[in-house]
Chains A and B, each alone.
Chain A
Amino acid sequence: MARLARRHLTGLLLAAALGAVPLHGALAQGGAPRIVVVTHGQAADPYWSVVKNGVDAAAKTQGANVEYRAPDTFDMVQMAQLVDAAVASRPDGLVVSIPDADALGPSVRRATEGGIPVIVIDSGGAKLTRELGGLLYLGQSEYEAGVAAGERVKALGVTKAACLNQEVGNVSLDDRCAGFAKGLGAEVPVVAGTIDPTEMKGRVAAYLRANPGVEFLLGCGVTASEPALDAVEELQLGGQVRIGTFDLSPGVLAAIDEGKMEFGIDAQQYLMGYMPIVMLDLLARYKLQPLADYPTGPGFVTKADAASVMSLSKQGIR
């Protein structure tokens, strides 16, 4: 095919549907793409340290220049300022989490309207991402993850289950229980607890005593499932009542490895850090567009892989 003369492109704004990708930042000077990541998770938090490890690994592999920023504490004002500063620096791409749409929406919208490609991770959701002009949302759909868990439990032959929710009213957790019921195809009572382990253990024990036919307990998080396991063991119901959980922890992984828990649901947050860097790098270099959301989870960790996941967990990858 005949080679065509390269057109000189300066700040060319593309059609809105493709997402505006003007040449600016390091790329315009022929350097490596520069991507800024702003999340609400401090790198010291075990969950977010895995995300950051994914970011760092992808930056290295792709050869991209990546900066990771997060506020010192859960501070939405500070986070909005970090997003604004990132936007002002005109990166080739921006990755953000949106735990608070009201606080962060305007800053993210300024980014997309300013022509910066934005990928949203972990929180915020697909609909909000679209509304703000983001390219895609990369996270786990809590409802869908619940459905997948329900289907898995149904396949075990279970008909009577309960969902342990340590924060009723937290939409993400409520969605997990609702999805679970849908996937199981049965009504699933919610055992409301708190994040206090003693309190949760007591409520689970009370529920078990009052409902001797229950066969499966799904915890909406580690703070629900670890105390639930204690309750089941104390009541010596390990043979009749199985447990699954959202999220992983060393305790959960050990329990799965020992056969005391059936599975842990992994949001695979390493991918939330890794894949946006890959996609924004390919967008900056080759104009290849990230087009649609895809879920990073649920991944189900079972006895077969618990030991290897424990090892990866120590390395900050799971």
Chain B
Amino acid sequence: MRRLTGVLATAAVATSLAAGAMAQDNDTRIVVVSHGQASDPFWSVVKNGVDEAQQTYGITVEYRAPDTFDMVQMAQLIDAAVASQPDGLVVSIPDPAALGDSISNAIAAGIPVVSMNSGSDVREELGILAHVGQTEFEAGEGGGKRMKEAGVTKAICVNQEVGNVALDTRCEGFKQGLGGEVEVLAVSMDPTEIQSAVKAHFAANPDTQGVLTLGPSAAEPTLQALEEDNLLGNVKLATFDLSPGVLEAIRDGKMLFAIDQQQFLQGYLPVALLTLHHKYGVMPAGTVMTGPGFVTHETAAQVIDLSAKGIR
């Protein structure tokens, strides 16, 4: 194989978490366009995955995201990435209608595209090579099965954005997995309102045995509400996604589990796959599932440690 000569990246290699690394590869450039800002706790873990893959493979990677959840801006970022003719493009697809054209244009321009985090349903239709992420229905279903194993037959699914297809699907999967009664409790994003809604539900429905929330921003107020009303002894609480508060609650036995989509892999694997694809033309044909992983009492302490390092 032709030897690759190139300038050794200093800072990147010095801070590399990997014990070994490929010789500097100046030939591969990948652009990641995500709807998640690197400052967001969830997305900062994705970005850490991207950064580690970049260091491991010694390639060039650019991470772009709009300042806020703005699909028009995101489509423009994709278009700009395409115009720069990268060797690979990684995208999240929270809104296929808004982003579909830009992605189709990328593929038509001959750019290999791997999607991550969201958009698994549109992969084949758009001609995306592979998807890396968690599928919402299966994740909810897994959560439902776990709750069922814990003895729950009647539960609520707390949804802070009814109408958001991904979140609605999580509740649908949960219902399927539980095989029992599941009511969707529609709430807003306001933690105080979430607390009162949960308390009100249990006042009217004291026989509810389980609660699934769709993220830490709902899990934490829900936990507080259940604690204040002395319901934690009888009610099993679980959530999608991780946060320090969620992990501590699981460690302390106050929450049953969290559904972990291991988003570090959503940053790492697409970069690894597109690097191999650029060099050798190989690519898996399908979806690489990064979730659902389940963090439980047995593993919470380890995950707290990894979470502090930005890996979970």
Contacts and interface: CB of A to CB of B under 8 A. Distances in A.
Contacts of B188: none
A4 B308 contact: yes
A298 B294 contact: no
B14 interface: no
A59 to B, nearest CB: 8
A137 interface: no
B283 A61 contact: no
B262 A288 contact: yes
A268 B18 contact: no
Contact of B276 (A7, A271, A289): A271
Interface in A1-24: 1-4, 6-7, 9, 12-15, 17-18
A309 interface: yes
A62 to B, nearest CB: 6
A32 interface: yes
Interface residues of B, number: 45
B20 interface: yes
Contacts of A61: 18, 20-22, 56-57
A29 to B, nearest CB: 14
Contact of B292 (A286, A291, A317): A291
Contacts of A64: 19-20
B262 A289 contact: yes
A62 B20 contact: yes
A297 B22 contact: no
Given A291-B290, A295-B285, A62 B56 contact: yes
B137 interface: no
A12 B296 CA distance: 14
B289 interface: yes
B285 A63 contact: no
- SS class, residues of chain A in contact with chain B: loop
B270 to A, nearest CB: 12
A286 B49 CA distance: 11
A171 B265 CA distance: 35
A295 B281 contact: no
B277 to A, nearest CB: 10
A3 B20 contact: no
Listed residue (B57, B268, B272, B291) with the most chain A CB atoms within 10 angstroms of its CB = B272
Interface string A257-280: 000000000101011001100100
Nearest to A1: B244
A78 interface: no
A100 interface: no
A292 interface: yes
Contacts of A299: 281-283, 285
Interface string B29-63: 00000000000000000000000000011000000
Contacts of A68: none
Interface string A297-316: 11100000100110010010
A294 interface: yes
B284 interface: yes
A76 interface: no
A3 B308 contact: yes
Given A61-B21, A63-B18, A288 B299 contact: no
A130 interface: no
9 closest A-B pairs by CB: A63-B20, A63-B19, A292-B289, A268-B282, A286-B311, A7-B301, A289-B293, A294-B288, A1-B244
